Amino acid sequence: MLQTGRRSLAFRALANGQRTPVAPKRRTFHQTQIAANALSLPATSAASTSASASSRTAADDFSAKIRRQKLDELVYALDRERVDSGEVWSRYIALLEYTHYEPLPAALHRHVLRCCTPPPQAVRNAYVKSLQVKALGRDGDAPQHPYEKRFTKVLEQLRATGAYLTRQEYLALLQQYAAVGAHVAAARTLAELRDYVAAVSSRGATGAESIQRAGEARSLTREYALVLQALSFRLSLPCSDEVREPRQKACAQLAALVIDALSRRRGAMPPVCRDLALRVLKD
């Protein structure tokens, strides 16, 4: 994995930059002969206060140590050559719960989002194996992704930092949704991505940067194709007669919206998108 050590150090540096507040210093009284009696304290008070401060410091040090340990465990799980999505998720939740969901670096959340589930093809294989025709009813026609709750949790934490998804995260989500035919979630994600690209392109930029942004705004071919793949796969899944017609109608309407968006772009429609759209409309 490229630049593994450098990325690990970056995660640790960012996360450990938020130090636990140091315990406040104990106030001391300056006695005078007149006020000595009024301010006099029991003989054990000074020792008790000192012990309390030492106890708080020790507790803070222990808490920081455990926090670093849990962060290291998560970074190690993310940097393994063969990432175990289950281990990544358990380490991530353990860190969040121990820190009481304090803000963590956005880069860490982004990495977890891409690694908290198995690869798309593995997710599809498991989904198909678990699919049972008798369980498909009206409510089962717009299934959630098997790991939708994980995506929701990470996105909540990422947005809590004030950061936004980048195109790489949107693409990763679309690949996952396309794998199981979650066409509703795929369409929603594509709409968010288009808004993101439009916002980025509208920012003040000159020269090569503006050209690059304009090109990115017109080059969402892969993302549109993934939405069409989600539609095509959804239509290929078995369903009851009661569900089949509404499903076909909903998928055709969504495919028409995608085709309309593609037709508004300059140049001919990409062949991969055209073939997928025709397959959806035919089914």
- pLDDT digit string (tens) for 35-94? 444 444 455 555 566 656 666 676 678 888 999 999 999 999 999 999 999 999 999 999
57: tokens are: 């410091």
Q: What amino acid is encoded at 208 in this protein?
A: A
* Whole-number pLDDT of residue 274: 86
Rounded CA separation 118/111 (Å): 14
152: tokens are: 């929701």
* Whole-number pLDDT of residue 40: 42
Of 201-205, 246-250, 269-273, where does mean pLDDT reach its minimum? 201-205
Q: Does 196 have pLDDT greater than 90?
A: no
Rounded CA separation 48/17 (Å): 32
Cβ atoms of 234 and 181 within 8 Å: the answer is yes
Rounded CA separation 49/36 (Å): 19
Average pLDDT across the chain, whole number: 78
User: Tokens 């288009």 sit at which residue?
Assistant: 194
At residue 20 the predicted structure's pLDDT band, cuts being 50, 70 and 90, is very low
Range among 44-58, 134-148, 233-247 with highest mean pLDDT value: 233-247
